[in-house]
Structure 1
């Protein structure tokens, strides 16, 4: 145990003493990116697609990878490491491209994407979700994700304690710390929460693509306004995106524990366990497996008109009833 603690202390010391080098940061970010991609692709494989335990493990891996990326970025920011090299150049570029019309638009958008605006949109979205889905599980999920994102952003600001850009260039008043951007964290969490609830309803791929594009556009626009108004550095915006996505990914983990939780979130009936008789057995041993709906299974297994008479004496007849499907022999 003491050896493990010494190893942890040594790693933290190395991070602090070599924070200006690219080696640790590049390896951490590279491994994190690979784990995130793997956590998305591997559970989609055919042999694991319906395995809740696989989804749970890889969802946890995804959260850990995103958290590691956020930590390494926070360490780099607190020590002005090499990852902050583009901050000044980006800041200067936005200063030289200011325009009165753009300033008015940026102030309006940053107000909508601020704490009050995001809170209002979140409350409205929760009401709509609760009404349309006849339940408050989806609404509670959205409210919880945004609330956790706000809290995590405030705590991270206190931990990193990064100063904002110079006061003279700010177009809106801000008096707290800079990293990560609270506006970007909140809007990312809100967009991700709504996208998560929408995706669990199993829409078409085209609709998913449109929803993802819309979410990315909204987050990018709010992030650009924070840079334009001179209240954040580039790494503040990137950190806000990572933190918001991390919170959404963490919220996905409980959904992998049971299919009933996902069903309550989406407002759809949970899978119904049914009993299917194994043919060729005198005792008719019964095996159970979940299906999306018992009625759909009955329709798929019902013989067609031309074969119904021929199969009546050979196969059991499947009869739907409120709790599932029972098997009986046709006389």
Structure 2
């Protein structure tokens, strides 16, 4: 009986150590993603602010899209881009939060509630900080009066699909299915980015910066919530 009790204690301590290591591994992974994404955004923002050579690349890409517009393709691009505006993304977030609340999944409710709305507000703040004018053409397909850098549509899509992927990944066991899930999310975000450049309302650096900014915010929020939720593993002493 004594040996059985000792075995239980050893397994409990082992589980505690494993959970602690998993927590620190996730925190480290989140920190790496945050640092890399923030560095990428910072480099792009610096190049845009100083009108570096990348600005010429922006103009070249913008001109290429403008020269390859067609009425039929424009309709498709408008449908896709309108599906990822502020209102549709907000409605999707509200629906997801309502479902999570109904399921009493407070962990992911907190993740979604912190990640998407605040991330979109952060993007608005960035727009006013940089105040970059939008591309201008003779026959503008879409005219907007707000600032260009970074793209709000790409930020919203990245935040929404990013948090959905983070929510679904733990439920998927196959690595192939996980890879497919991530690929689909990246594909959709890329399509949204293309629609914004095609319609002449954003430069290449606008969409790239929005993606990097949103990935950094995703990493910060999800890692922070996970650390808060699992704090008992590194605050509470191991069982003795």
One fold, TM greater than 0.5? yes
Map 1:1-331 onto structure 2 (within 5 A): 50-131=21-102, 133-166=103-136, 168-257=138-227, 260=230, 288=239
Hey, what's the Cα distance between the residues in 2 that align with 1:128 and 1:246? 26
Q: 1:94 to 1:197 in 2, by over 3 A?
A: same
Q: More strand by proportion, 1 or 2? A: 1
Structure 1 stretches lacking a partner, 5+ long: 1-46, 262-269, 274-286, 290-331
**How many angstroms does 1:60 deviate by?**
2.4
Structure 2 stretches lacking a partner, 5+ long: 1-17
TM-score by length of 2: 0.82
**How many angstroms does 1:152 deviate by?**
1.2
Hey, what's the Cα distance between the residues in 2 that align with 1:67 and 1:87? 21
**How many angstroms does 1:260 deviate by?**
4.0
Query: SS state of the match for residue 41, structure 2?
Result: helix
Give the number of equivalent residue pairs: 220
Larger radius of gyration: 1
**How many angstroms does 1:183 deviate by?**
0.4
**How many angstroms does 1:50 deviate by?**
3.1
Match of 1:313 in 2: none
Q: More helix by proportion, 1 or 2? A: 2
Hey, what's the Cα distance between the residues in 2 that align with 1:175 and 1:167? 14
TM-score by length of 1: 0.60
Q: Which has the higher contact order (CA 8 A, sep 6+)?
A: 2
Q: 1:57 to 1:135 in 2, by over 3 A?
A: closer
Hey, what's the Cα distance between the residues in 2 that align with 1:119 and 1:60? 27
